[in-house]
Structure 1
Amino acid sequence: MGAAAAVPAATALTGCGGSPSSGSTLNLVYLGDATQQKTFDKLFGAFARAHPKIKISARGIASKNWAEFANTVSTQIAGGKVPDIISVATEGQRLFASKGLLEPLDSYIEKDRETVDAYFDDADPRLRKWTSEYSSPDDKTYFIPGGYNTVALYCNTEVFDKAGVDLPSDGWTWDDFKQAGLRIKKKTGAFLLPAGYSFPFVDIMPWLLSNGASTLDADWKKSTIASPAAVEAAEFVKGLVDAGLSPKPGGTFDVPTQMDKGNLATFGGGRWPTLDVRRLRMVDKVRIVPWPTGSGRGSPVGWDGWPILKASQNKDAAWTFLKWLMSKDASVFFAEIGGTNIPARNSVATGPEFRKNAPKGTEVLAEAVTYGTPIPCPRQSAEADVAVTRAWQEAITGTKSPREALRSADRKLSGLV
């Protein structure tokens, strides 16, 4: 699904306004395969209890990236197969809005202003600002933002205790982190973390952002991946690999299982790894802490967007669903069934439903949105990701020097944006 989530988020308001006809059926499509259908079914079951006259049918499209997904949806619409709603992660929002496929939501929002304002009053204001700033090419509103994800470190407290290393009470620097890893490796033989390159949201962006760098500027119009701060970040991660503090990047390494066995001290992630932590019954021996800092705190932020298709014949029913997604009841429900996002509603993200059966420090994930940065997602996001991941791979594995690898990516990104 992308950075925002691996499955749909219900961070959302109780339906009012609109007058969907009796027996309306909404068609929803999402990027993903059939394994995600169970989560959608749970979501729809809760909605049906509140709105029994509206049925929802979901269909996953297994695409390689958001560009391929958008092209598939466009082709299907041209052929008469029209969805009413799409679940779109940050990576695909600007692309979808630019294709003219989406219905502006401004009139619906104005009609139900009280309901929508109640939702956003309970959310971090950045989420609303970012959705408007990055997901609209023409100042119209096309998405209701849902749950979001940030990145922090999941730490095995038993490995740290065995090595005699204290987890930070406030935060740690890159140097603190590396020194902890060297001691852990010496005392326990465990790796510090799995360095990688295939998932930029976790493998690359936290290192860049925690050193004041990124792949693109704040407007997503200029490449910044070859900045001195970005090169320094790549050099640091390469140093962790060279010191043997990470398994070989790109190899086969079952992260949750290896942590459970005591062979791994930390790994990065948003809310979604909590499901593996629960599955392996590691909740009591895992603690979540902020990402270590280079020049300052940093985390990528990705969020779900929920639009209505312009070609939909069920817009009122679709808006009823979007309003329900904004309800506190829906947000609490998704938190309780094990949603993989951080609820947009602060009252739920900091509440007992979200923290129940979760590692200590879970609140760190919600706090990170206050200093986080939206993951750069231009219209050419798929091509940009290829350039970034290939360069990072070359940099941390030593195929090229970090400076040379990132300069090559800079030339490619500059040609895209």
Structure 2
Amino acid sequence: MNQSQLSRRRFLQATGGTALAAALAGCGGSDGGGGSSTKELSFVYMGTAEQQATWNKLFAKFSEKHPEIKLKAEGIPLSNWGDFFNKLSTRLAGGQVPDVIQVATEGQRLFASKGLLAPLDDYIAKDKSTIDEYYADMDPNLIEWNKKYSSTDGKTYYLPGEFNTMCMWYSKDLFAKAGVPEPTAKWTWDDFRHACEQIKAKTGAFGYAAGPEYFAAIMPWLLTNGTSSFSDDWSKPTYNDAKAIEAAEFNRALVADKLSPPPGGTFDATTAAAQGKLAMFGGGRWPIISIRNLKATAKMGIVPWPTKVEQGSPVGWNGYPIMKASKKKDDAWTFIKFLISTEGSSFFAQLGGTIVPARKSIANSESFLTDAPKGTEYLYQALSYATPIPSPDKGAAVQKAVEDGWKQVLTGNASPADALGKAQTALEGLV
């Protein structure tokens, strides 16, 4: 995973975002009814070849429990949500409509607003005890955010699923070699900067891998400085306020002082950390496979993001909606219930999934915490102070403006005030 791929929750890229909205608008589909038929239950999700191997074991477990349902699951081997949604939109526009899809926060409101999805409210009412038990095992913030941000008409199209928050991954070896105490949950920006300086001076390693990724490298700094890219309802951009500019200045100084490698290129943060060449990088659960493959799990620790004003993290979560055109809605609901069940969630966590289980009991269990860095539990605890990643409908252009502005700062091509001011103007034109 190179530096440009650190964010596993990247939304629509600059190209294709408008095309996606147009494609979705034109393929609402008709209601195919809820009964079962002889055709397979089709599920499309985002997963690299490596991740598909894990998912396939989960699907085998489902088929074992429900032999009456023939599941045809297809992982699209892409590494960011933008490319996934663009690929999916092309299929939908061509009439290839699966029964169930995986949709991250970044696309949930957009998909729900286009008439593509079947409301789940009747199913939820029918299986009230099952859903009540699921919600009781979940941080209530996930439930409230799902209601607030993933629907435009008050109907329920998604059950909140697995998620990613942001914490700081750090090399315990480099901190020890530099004689710097390992970070704690209460550390500050000043503590972070001091650690970068000491580690660079004592070991020659970079302190932190700065980058222009919206979810993984921009939002954590904004939120821990008491600001965000947008207002709470995503209607007003706030990218040029003084606290955002201060966060950008802080990151620019890390690059200028060579405490961070320059952005871009093929710098591989996980490999560099495993090799003792990088002390810290931002991440959710997704680096775990690479870290395990590098035999570096015991060398790493995870800690909440350092704070300037308050604790903060972006959050994005999975949803598994049933397509309105599906003729296998009852089977689709059975599949969704398996995904959220204690058994399904525990099995997936045990396999080493790259997302945090929504169930608190599973996130705190050995199935999730074994063979994971010290501090992995902080990823779930971050829900208590996290902020949903702002995802207005024009997500492609929004993300491009946010990232381009930050990139201009990191490279020193523009001052933070000028770069974020220009980006703010672009964002205001989009919402």
Equivalent residue runs for 1:156-195 within 5 Å? 156-195=171-210
Report if the CA contact (8 A) 2:47-2:79 is conserved.
no
Cα displacement (A) at 1:261: 1.6
| 1:9 paired residue number | none
TM-score w.r.t. length of structure 2: 0.89
Q: Which moved more, 1:232-241 or 1:31-40?
A: 31-40
1:57 to 63, 72, 97: 72
User: Is 1:305 matched up with 2:333?
Assistant: no
- Structure 2 match to 1:121: 136
User: Residues of 2 paired with 1:355 and 1:312: CA distance?
Assistant: 37
Query: Is the 1:4–1:147 Cα contact (8 Å) retained in structure 2?
Result: no
Which amino acid letter does the alignment assign opposite residue 277 of structure 1?
I
Shift of residue 131, structure 1, vs aligned partner? 0.9
Judged with a 3 Å threshold, the aligned counterparts in structure 2 of structure 1 residues 258 and 73 are, in CA distance, closer, same or farther, namely: closer
* Equivalent position of 1:137 in the other structure: 152
Q: Which amino acid aligns with 2:110?
A: L
Shift of the 265–279 alpha-carbon distance from structure 1 to 2, 3 Å rule, reads same
The CA distance in 1 between the partners of 2:399 and 2:130, in whole Å, is: 37
Shift of 1:166: 0.2
Equivalent position SS for 1:101: coil
Distance change >3 Å, CA 409–CA 25, structure 1 → 2:
same
Which residue identity is paired with 2:301? R
**Partner Cα distance (2:346, 2:10) in 1:** 17
Q: Which residue of 1 aligns with 2:22?
A: none
| 1:356-392 alpha-carbon deviations (Å, 9 max, x no partner) | 1111111111111110100111111111110011000
Of 222, 230, 235, the match for 1:221? 235
Which residue is 2:345 aligned to? 331
Query: Matched residues in 1 for 2:222 and 2:236: separation?
Result: 16
Given that 2:222 and 2:247 are in contact with CA atoms closer than 8 Å, whether structure 1 keeps it comes out as yes
| Helix, strand or coil at the partner of 2:240 | coil
Question: How many corresponding residue pairs?
Answer: 405
CA contact (8 A) 1:24 1:317 kept: no
Following TM superposition, by how much is the alpha carbon of 1:32 offset from its aligned partner in structure 2, in angstroms? 5.1
**Which residue number corresponds to residue 118 of structure 2?**
103
- Report deviation, 1:282: 1.3
Residue ranges of structure 1 left out of the alignment (5+ in a row): 7-17
Q: Say if 2:83 is the partner of 1:38.
A: no
C-alpha separation in 2, matches of 1:76 and 1:195: 36
Task: Give 1:48 deviation, angstroms.
Answer: 0.6
Partner SS for 2:40: strand
1:91 is matched with which residue? 106
Query: Is contact 1:156-1:265 (8 Å) kept?
Result: yes
Deviation of residue 232 (structure 1)? 0.4
By how many angstroms is 1:159 displaced? 0.5
User: Which sits farther off after the overlay, 234-243 or 251-260?
Assistant: 251-260
Q: Tell whether 2:267 aligns with 1:253.
A: yes
Between 281-290 and 319-328, the greater mean CA deviation after superposition:
281-290
List per-residue Cα deviations over 1:261-288 (Å, max 9, x = no partner): 2111111100111222211111222111
Q: CA deviation at 1:81?
A: 2.3
Query: Residue in 2 aligned with 1:377?
Result: 391
Moved more, 383-392 or 58-67: 58-67
Q: What is the Cα deviation at residue 75 of structure 1?
A: 5.4
Q: Tell me if the contact between 1:153 and 1:269 (Cα under 8 Å) persists in the aligned partners.
A: yes
Q: Secondary structure at the match of 1:145?
A: coil
Deviation at 1:334, TM superposition (A): 0.5
What is the CA-CA distance between 1:38 and the residue it aligns to?
A: 2.5
Q: Is 2:299 aligned against 1:285?
A: yes
Distance in 2 of aligned mates of 1:373 and 1:295:
15
- Kindly provide the amino acid, as one letter, of the partner of residue 173 in structure 2: E
Q: Counterpart amino acid of 2:170? A: C
CA distance in 2, matches of 1:212, 1:386: 22
Q: 1:196 to 1:287 in 2, by over 3 A?
A: same
Q: Deviations over 1:193-242 (max 9, x none)?
A: 11111x21111111111101111111000000111110000000011111
| Residue matched to 2:254 | 240
Asked if structure 1 preserves the Cα contact closer than 8 Å seen for 2:100 and 2:323, the reply is yes
One of 308, 313, 331 as aligned partner of 1:317: 331
Given that residues 37 and 327 in structure 2 are in contact (C-alpha distance below 8 angstroms), is that contact kept between their aligned partners in structure 1?
Answer: no
Structure 1 letter corresponding to 2:143: R
Identity among equivalent pairs (%): 52
Q: Residue type matched to 1:105 in 2?
A: L
Aligned residue runs from structure 1 range 61-72, under 5 A: 61=76
Q: 1:121 and 1:5, CA in 2 relative to 1: closer, same or farther beyond 3 A?
A: farther
**For the structure 1 residues 50 and 22, does the alpha-carbon distance in structure 2 shift closer, same or farther, using more than 3 Å as the test?**
farther
Which of 352, 356, 365 lines up with 1:351 in the alignment? 365
Change (3 A) 1:226 1:322: same
User: In 2, distance between residues paired with 1:283 and 1:69?
Assistant: 29
Counterpart-to-counterpart distance in 2, 1:200 and 1:133: 21
Residues 122-150 of structure 1 show CA distances to partners (whole Å, capped at 9, x for unaligned) of 00111111111101011110011210111
1:210 counterpart = 2:228: no
Kindly indicate whether residue 308 of structure 2 is the aligned counterpart of residue 294 of structure 1. Answer: yes
